[in-house]
Structures are given as C-alpha cells and as structure tokens.
Structure 1
C-alpha cells in the first residue's frame, strides 16, 4: 500500500523544513523526533504550559489539544503508506513540536502562533472520519499529505522568523504584520481541509457502493446455496420414495 506519489508534497515540505535549520537546530530536531503515542499530546501541552507558567499565555497550550491531536493521529498512520526514511511520522510531529517550542520563548509571539493554530485546529481532519477509508483511497491519502504538508510549511515559516537578524528588535513591527505574514497559510489550510473533506465524501460513497455490491453478491450466493440445497433435498426425497415404492 506504500506509495511515494501520494506523499511527495509532504516529504518535500519536511525536507525544506530541515534545510532551514542550522546544524544546532537539526540536532535539537533529532532529539525530539519520535513517533507520538496517545500520551504525547498531553505530555507536550503540559511542557508548553510549564514553559509559560509565569506569562499571560499560560494555559493557551491546552487549547491546542485538538490541533496537536490531529497531528498525532495522522502520525500513527502516515508511515503505512509512505516508504521513506527517516520516519515521516516522527518528522511531522518533530517539526510541529520544534516550531512551538521555539515560539514558546517569546510570549507575545507564542500567543499569536497558538491563537492561529487553534483556528487551524478547527479545520484539521478528524481521524474517525478517515481511518477506515484512507487505506483504499489514493485521493484521500494524497489530500491528507497535502494538508499536513501545508502545516509543516507554516511551521517552517515560523522558524524562519526567528532566524531573521535582529528579531527581538523588530518584534513589535513583526507582531503588527502577523496576519499579513501568516494569513495566507490559514487560507491555504482552509482550502486543503475542504479537499480532504471532499475526498472523504467520495471515498465514503465508493465504500458504500462496494459494500452494497458485496451484499448483492452475498445474497446471490446465498440464494444459489438455498436452491442447491432444495434441489438436493428434492432429489433425495425422490430417491427415497422410489426406494420405498419398489419395496426394497
């Protein structure tokens, strides 16, 4: 089921993210790269809140739960249809985690980023909507990879901001232009979300049709079996009657 064609955009986004990092940052990314389990979201949001314990942004991290949960759930299945090393799942989670940890060092910036990610979280596909469909739908797998590729690109852009010369001195002017700088990503993610929903709809229709056809086949097979059984029973009774009539 693995297919690189469906995940080219995601893998390209991850490569661009890594190329953006300095040697030290690459080591930091490597240190936090891991395929997230079910407890990873709670653990990470707790870590973010602890980093912001004395700031007004405290508690914002817990409201990122839906966004992070979507990333974690996607990470549990992406490696099943992406054949590449290192693990794409670990890199997707690691990229998002790296960007948020970097943003957490600047309270106002973190507030802006987290507020945007909370809005993005509302567009994130729900795992329950696609977990039974992605395995048989190339279109859905491609749309999912494209959606999360855009999120990785967003995180890459956030990291680039930190690498700008004199960021701290320009922070005020940057915050004033935040919407103009990051707004296009929100629009792209909204569009990608609609693509995923459409692919889920199409995959659901296809699955329902295939299930219906399977039921038709099963009913035909059951009907044939019943007819064969009746025929066999009829022939058996005829033989028994003939045998009884002959006096044997």
Structure 2
C-alpha cells in the first residue's frame, strides 16, 4: 500500500525557515518508520538527513517525533499510524542541525554533569566490588536507558527551563545515588537539590510515556526527590 509522509526539512546553511516536504512510499503495515525513511533517502531524495545505527532499538540513534510523539523510528510500525500523512519531525527542545538531526551536545553535557559513574571509597579493590542481587535490583530498570533523548525532548520542563538537567540525566543520577557501591550520596544529592536538578521535575510523566525501554523515569526521579527530602529532614 502507498503511504504519505510529511517530513520536516531544514538546512540552516541555506534555508531561512523550516518547511515540510511530502513523499509517497510503498509500505507494508509491518514496515518500520525507519524502513520508510530509508526508502525515501535511497530511492527518492538522498538529501534527507536523519540518524540511525543498529536499527533494532538498542543504540537510541533514531529518536524523532512521529505524529507528535517522541519515539525511535526503528520501533514504530506503519500500522501504528492509521491516517495519512504520517508527520515526522526532529526531537523538540534541541537545535536542528539538518532535517531530523538535532544537536545532542547539550544533552550529553547535562548527562556528564551528574557524574554518571561510581564514586567509590578507598583504594580500588583487586577483585570486583561485590553487590547482592537485591542491591542491584534497586536500579535494574534504570540501566536499560539507551540515552536516546526522547524523554528529554518530551519533557515540558525542559521546554520551559533550558538549564534543567532533564529526565535522562536524572535517571542516571538515580542509578548511582542508589548504588550500594557508591560513596558520595551527599555530594550527589547536593547537586540534584535545585530547581535545575530533581527539584525542577513536576512529575508530568511524559518521560515515562515515551521511553522506548519502558522505564518508569518519573518514579525514579520521585525516589530521588524523596531521598533528598528524607536526608534534609534527618539532617544527614
């Protein structure tokens, strides 16, 4: 069957404003949106720009907004969209580099700001740092994050406050704050306890709705906020 795609086009090097361009594509109901984009670029318009890599929902490269919802193009099927046209746009809240490609440098800068690595105490051990299955289970869900930026793009707080660290960074902060091997919870909580950190989250839940790995991001951020509150109340 033939499907109509309406795709956001913008090249800041030569365009004064964005536009939408329509393409007709032969597509099966089980074809992925990424398959259709590939068909457009390979068969109709090689100038169309977007990111992709593994094409199997692992790398997180092909995040974009499809019919108003942030998602991975490799995970969405044509049959998920009942009416033409299927509108494909870049992730919001980011500067457009070209067409569906956005500048993710600020996203990764904020990610790095939460120190997304263990801060252990003492000397490095000769063997691994042991952790029980129960201790690991606390953040098991959070480590599924593939940094696709869909949650940050969908977050209404990010659109209002450019300094807000964003749900992806807060999820990674949760992962280390609740890691039994980490020795710097006070340092982490001090950084997160601000309007630009966990305090900025208003629990809209858009992050959880769009997460391609089905992580309850809002719940993780809520647990971080509660831990900060409990620490302040107890004076620790």
| TM-score for the superposition, normalised by structure 1 | 0.27
Bigger proportion of residues as helix: 1
The higher-RCO structure (CA 8 Å, 6+ apart) is: 1
| TM-score for the superposition, normalised by structure 2 | 0.28
